[in-house]
Amino acid sequence: MKFHQDIPTLLATGGRDNVINLYDLRNPTTPFRKLFGHDDSIAGLKWDSVCNPNKLTSWSLDKRVLIWDLDSLDEEFIYPTDVPENGKKNKNSRTTDPCLKFISGGHTNRINEVDIHPTLDGLHITCGDDSLLEIWKPKTIIPEEEEEEEEEDEKKNDMEVDQEK
C-alpha cells in the first residue's frame, strides 16, 4: 500500500486479487475506484511524487510494470466484473481502463523493485529476478484524433502559404 504524498486521504492498495484499490480515507470501507490491468498479484506501488503526482506506477508477479494516470478517473469505464442487466455493453463505454497509460513488459521474471527518477520526467528503473536492470521512459503516443487535427492544420498552413505566393 502507498499513501499519496500530497493528498493525505488518498491510499492505493494492491494484493493477490490483481486489482489496485484506491481509497479515500474519509470513507475507508470501500474503494472509490479499482484499477484493473495486472494478471497476477500486485508486488508494489509507487507514486511519481515530483514530476507527475497524479501518476501511479504498479508492478506485479505478471512481470509487467503499469503506469496509471489518475487524471482520467472521470472517463466512463466498465469494470471487468460488471455485466449490464441487459447483457449488452454501451458502445461508448470502454472496457480498457482509461487510467492505464503505459505497460512495460521487458522483464522475463519477477520484478523486485521499481523507482522513478526524482527530476527527469518519466524516467524509470526496474530490476528483477531475471538479472536485468532496465532504465526506460514511456513513449507517449498521440491519439488519432489529434494526429488528424494536426494534419488538417498543416494543410491549412500550406494552403495559406500557397495563396501568399
- Number of helices followed by number of strands (H, E) in the chain: 1, 11
Residue 73 pLDDT:
87
Identify the sign of the CA torsion 25, 30, 35, 40: positive
Other beta carbons within 10 angstroms of residue 1's beta carbon come to 13
Q: How confident is the model at residue 39 (pLDDT cuts 50, 70, 90)?
A: very high
Picking from 35, 39, 41, the residue whose alpha carbon sits closest to that of residue 70 is 35
Question: Which letter does DSSP use for residue 94 in this model?
Answer: B
Task: Find all residues with CB under 8 Å of 59, minimum gap 6, and list them.
Answer: 42, 43, 44, 65, 66, 111, 114, 126
At 3, which helix (H) or strand (E)?
Answer: strand 2-3
Residue 22 pLDDT:
96
Q: What residue ranges define each of the domains in the chain, with the CATH number in brackets? A: 2-164 (2.130.10.10)
Q: How far apart (Å, rounded) are the C-alpha atoms in residues 90 and 78?
A: 9
Q: Parallel, antiparallel, or unpaired for β 19-24 and 42-47?
A: unpaired
Instruction: Tell me the per-residue pLDDT of 114-141, one tens digit each, with 9 for 90 and over.
Output: 999 998 988 999 999 999 999 999 886 6
Sheet holding 133-136, edge to edge: 111-116, 124-128, 133-136
Whether residue 134 contacts residue 146, with contact meaning beta carbons closer than 8 Å, is answered with no
Regarding pTM above 0.85, the answer is no
Instruction: Tell me the per-residue pLDDT of 52-109, one tens digit each, with 9 for 90 and over.
Output: 889 999 999 999 999 999 998 888 777 766 544 544 544 444 567 889 999 998 899 9
Instruction: Tell me the per-residue pLDDT of 134-164, one tens digit each, with 9 for 90 and over.
Output: 999 988 665 555 556 666 666 666 666 566 6
| C-alpha cell of residue 88 | 449488452
